[in-house]
Amino acid sequence: MNEQINERLSGLRDSCGAVASAVLTRDGLVIAADVPPGTFVETFAIMCATMLGAAVTSNNELKRGVPERITVEGNDTKTYILATGKKTLAVAVTDGASDDNKVFEQLKAIGSLINQ
């Protein structure tokens, strides 16, 4: 299964212009990752998990539903974080011109591999 996940993550480079992608636990542990050399993948993972965790906490305080996905936009980058199960999430970082729906669709497909 990890081989399939790794192939899908690296495939995000061609299909969505991803510069980094990963599958993580909600605690920030790396299950699989495709990141540029020199990236501290553990730091990347824990910060992505923290962003989703912060959104869950803030929604709980407002008595709102649990967020399923987050998009963080910068000048030249978009970061997509998708909850793919009770214990996992999938992340992709792309250039700013990516199609949000396409990225989330592909992350969802990767998530379905994890939760088989």
Compute φ and ψ for 27, nearest 5 degrees.
-85, -5
Residue 42 CA to residue 8 CA, distance in Å, equals: 20
Question: Could you report the per-residue pLDDT of 10-21, keeping only the tens digit for each?
Answer: 999 989 999 999
pLDDT band of 46, cuts 50, 70, 90: very high
pLDDT of residue 98: 86
Higher confidence at residue 84 or residue 115? 84
pLDDT of residue 116: 66
pLDDT of residue 114: 83
Report pTM. 0.93
